[in-house]
Amino acid sequence: MKLLQLQYFCTACKYNNITRASEELHVSQPSISSAIKELEAEFGVTLFKRLKKGFTLTPEGEVLLRHAQELLEEADRLSLIMSNLQNERRGIRIGIPPMTGISHLPKLYRGFKKLYPDINVSTHEFGAASLIESLNDESLDLVIIPADIGDRKKFSSLNLGEVETVFCVHPEHSLAGKETVDLRTLRDEPLIIFDKGFIQYNVITSAFAAAGIEPNIVHLSSQLYMIKEFISSGIACGFMFRDIAETIPDIVSIPLREPIKSKVCLLWNKERHISSDVLKFIEYAKEQKF
């Protein structure tokens, strides 16, 4: 088993399509197919059920995908750590969960780069637990998350604003015309949400638990693209931030009767050395209004 094989496998799963994975990775389709066949041969399992268009994962494939994503995420973090063993800082490294990156980072990035075009800003997408761990081991300088979950003894935080989570369905769904929905009416709705380790998982499952309901979660994913595809295809319903959902043509967003709102915070480890570039970003963020 090689990390490259796992990368090919995870990218194919991202799109449920080897052709699109090939386009993203800039490698040939046979290379991806060969890597997946080698994994199947090594483990003695079938990972995919081939369809006329694309494929679907077998239960064994679901298990491999979950653990492969964790391994690749850890490999990315290790790469960041090793690249910074010297005392040299290479710009600003910002960690983000998928939806938060879309809703808040572009505005900050665009304005900051106009002021400081020579400062390199790189972004790294992980779940909340990995983001906090990355602040601890200094593989990231800053983290933007939709909750102030850091240890206040170790982390400083800056409130960047607020996001609202809304229920999302296909335009032809029976609830699409509702002005609001109550979680109790969603008891039997098939749901796709972010995987454990992502903040949304805790937010959504906690909201259902408070309402005394067991959510009908049919799929967990670490990919925003996959969640959008499931909802826009009518396979399942889900939850997104309002400002993101309202930009997607094939998805109808419905506010919750009891709104779920979260602060979006910029976190940094105050026990670690903060470079002048990172300080400039923090000061710029303090001046912005969202």
For 3-22, the pLDDT digits (tens) are: 889 999 899 898 888 888 88
The domains found in the chain, sorted by start residue, are 3-63 (1.10.10.10), 82-160+263-286 (3.40.190.10), 162-262 (3.40.190.290)
What's phi and psi for 281, nearest 5 deg?
Answer: -65, -45
Integer Cα distance of 99 and 104 in angstroms: 9
CA pair distance 153, 128, nearest whole angstrom: 18
**pLDDT digit string (tens) for 39-84?**
889 999 999 888 777 788 999 989 999 999 999 988 888 877 776 6
The residues with which 266 forms a beta bridge, in sequence order, are: 144, 158
pLDDT digits (tens, 9 = 90+) for 267-287: 998 888 788 899 999 999 999
In 3D, which of 125, 114, 161 has the Cα closest to residue 266? 161
- Given a cut of 60, whether residue 87 has pLDDT beyond it is no
Q: Which of 245, 124, 130, 105 is nearest to 198 (CA)?
A: 130
Q: Residues 24-35: pLDDT tens digits?
A: 888 898 998 899
- Determine how β-strand 92-96 pairs with β-strand 217-221: unpaired
Highest mean pLDDT among 12-26, 95-109, 244-258: 244-258
Is pLDDT at 88 greater than 60 in this prediction?
no
Is residue 100 scored above 90 in pLDDT? no
Helices (H) and strands (E) in the chain — how many of each?
Answer: 11, 11
**Interior CA angle at 127 toward 140 and 282, to 5°?**
40
Give mean pLDDT, residues 98-118.
84
Q: Which of 203-207, 220-224, 232-236 is the least confident region? A: 220-224
Over residues 173-194, the pLDDT tens digits come to: 999 999 999 999 999 999 999 9
Q: How many CA atoms lie within 13 A of 233 on its CB side?
A: 10
Neighbour count for residue 41 (Cβ, 10 Å):
9
Residue 284 has a pLDDT of 94
